Amino acid sequence: MLRLRARSVHPVTAPPIHDGAVLVDVGGRIAAIGPNSQVPTPPEVEALEFPAAVLVPGLVNCHTHLELTHLAGRNAERDFVQWIRAIRTLKDATPPAEFSRAAEQGVRDCWAAGVTCVADTGSSGSPLEALARLGARGIYYQEVFGPDPAQCAASVAELTAAVERLRPLVSRRARLGVSPHAPYTVSEPLYRAVAEFARGAGLPLAVHLAESREETQLVADGAGPFAEALRARGIRVAARGRSPVEHLVQLGVVQPGTACLCIHCVQVDQRDVELLRDAGAAIAHCPRSNRAHGHGTAPLGAFRRAGVKVGFGTDSVVSTGDVDLWSEATAAGLGGEEALRMLTLEGARALGHDAEIGSLEVGKQADLAVFPSTALSRLLPPSAALLTVVAGRVVHRYIQAP
Ligand SMILES: [Zn+2]
């Protein structure tokens, strides 16, 4: 059992508690929460005290690429289409053992930043292996690619094999989904086939969607650098006269009854926002990545007013350099309790996990993070967590340099 006391405890679903405490039971769930004087101290409990810190729910990172952790600082391409191409070259040059090390380091970096749940997309399978091996919480979406309709069957076969290989690693804590990557890497028949596969297998979907202007150009007009690159490979490209969001709605990827995490959603108008809401889709909002690549700003206010589920994601460290969610909230102009809610409960809602995590309530999983007390009051927050707990187990402790 574990008992944590802090200067303030922030349940998110209830007002902050000054000099509060949380008791975690042997099953890794929250057994009690309240003012320190009212939370029991059973014999032989491990009791930790943080008199100058805040105790909050563990942060939920709705978009990572943990298998790319080793590539931080390795792609200086300014042009997005070239950047995507460079990532592919770097990935092709990465041996499997390196993906494995990168994913494990990525999980540990998340823990050090107070992140206790990730929604990760990748193609190597290493992130799910790392989640399972380390006892971390998260969902890993296996990516599938294939811009040429002629590749569709081969891509589906590859995806099916990857899912079969990864399924034994799945647990309540380490989950699996599938991700048809993006409109410039996935053909129409492949989108349809993967959506059908996901529904049949009961797996959630994640898609990179409406990220760049070049993507909209491709989907709407059949033009621009993505279209040119596809034509150069002999792939037919047509103008569809619709937005990327409309495109995925028409293909049955974004639709009611199918859990779909839509990553980025920068290039959207009010109709797209309503389509996303009506489909029950969730957004992974990545303001720092969007800014770094010059995509613009996703309409967070419009999403929230429409009642679309939104969580924050740091995207790959190649884009943003770290997995610091507080910086994402700051980049979106949020601070204090509002930022905390978006990074915890709203992130958990976006992933459909809010019954288990995202707030500090009796009976919920004990996913917790302790930050220096400035985390909630300063706009430039310290990203390092003092302590991180997943399902009642301490997974990270900040050790001050001597
Ligand atoms: Zn991404």
Average pLDDT of the segment spanning 262-278: 98
- Tell me: the pLDDT tens digits for 156-170? 999 999 999 999 999
68 CA to middle of ligand 1, Å?
10
Q: Phi and psi of 44, rounded to 5°? A: 65, 15
- For residues 285 and 392, state if they share a domain: no
47 CA to middle of ligand 1, Å?
39
Question: Please, what is the angle between helix 80-92 and helix 225-232, to 10°?
Answer: 50
Q: Quick check: 97 pLDDT over 90?
A: yes
- Characterize 64-76 residue by residue with b for buried, 16 or more Cβ atoms within 10 angstroms of its Cβ, and e for exposed: bbbbbbbbbeebe
Q: How much is the pLDDT for 78? A: 86
Tell me if 28 is assigned to some domain: yes
- For residues 66 and 53, state if they share a domain: no
For residue 94, the tally of other CB atoms under 10 A from its CB is 16
According to DSSP H, which parts of 212-260 are helical?
213-216, 225-232, 244-250
Q: How much is the pLDDT for 376? A: 65
- For residues 52 and 155, state if they share a domain: no
118 CA to middle of ligand 1, Å?
13
Tell me if 402 is assigned to some domain: no
- Tell me: the pLDDT tens digits for 300-352? 999 999 999 999 999 999 999 899 999 999 999 999 999 999 999 999 999 99
- For residues 21 and 90, state if they share a domain: no
Which of 23-27, 71-75, 88-92 is modeled with the greatest confidence? 23-27
311 CA to middle of ligand 1, Å?
14
- For residues 173 and 199, state if they share a domain: yes
246 CA to middle of ligand 1, Å?
20
- For residues 217 and 307, state if they share a domain: yes
- For residues 17 and 82, state if they share a domain: no
* Strands of the 115-122 sheet, one edge to the other: 59-64, 115-122, 137-144, 174-180, 205-209, 260-264, 282-285, 309-312
Tell me if 194 is assigned to some domain: yes
62 CA to middle of ligand 1, Å?
10
316 CA to middle of ligand 1, Å?
6
**Last-in-domain residue among 329, 350, 371:** 350
Q: Is-contact 182 206, C-beta < 8 A?
A: no
- For residues 214 and 265, state if they share a domain: yes
276 CA to middle of ligand 1, Å?
19
Tell me if 11 is assigned to some domain: yes
Question: Residue 193 sits in a domain of what CATH number?
Answer: 3.20.20.140
Tell me if 355 is assigned to some domain: no
- Tell me: the pLDDT tens digits for 183-227? 999 999 999 999 999 999 999 999 999 999 999 999 999 999 999
- For residues 228 and 364, state if they share a domain: no
For residue 138, count CB atoms less than 10 angstroms from its CB and return exposed for 0-12, middle for 13-18, buried for 19 or more. buried
Domain count, the chain: 2
65 CA to middle of ligand 1, Å?
6
Tell me if 31 is assigned to some domain: yes
Q: Is-contact 330 379, C-beta < 8 A?
A: yes
315 CA to middle of ligand 1, Å?
5
According to DSSP H, which parts of 80-208 are helical?
80-92, 96-112, 126-134, 152-166, 188-201
Domain encompassing residue 391: 2-57+360-397
Quick one: tokens of 269?
């108008």
283 CA to middle of ligand 1, Å?
12
Question: Residue 390 sits in a domain of what CATH number?
Answer: 2.30.40.10
- For residues 337 and 387, state if they share a domain: no
Query: The pTM is what?
Result: 0.96
Residue 49 or residue 75, greater confidence = 49
- For residues 51 and 70, state if they share a domain: no
- For residues 196 and 228, state if they share a domain: yes
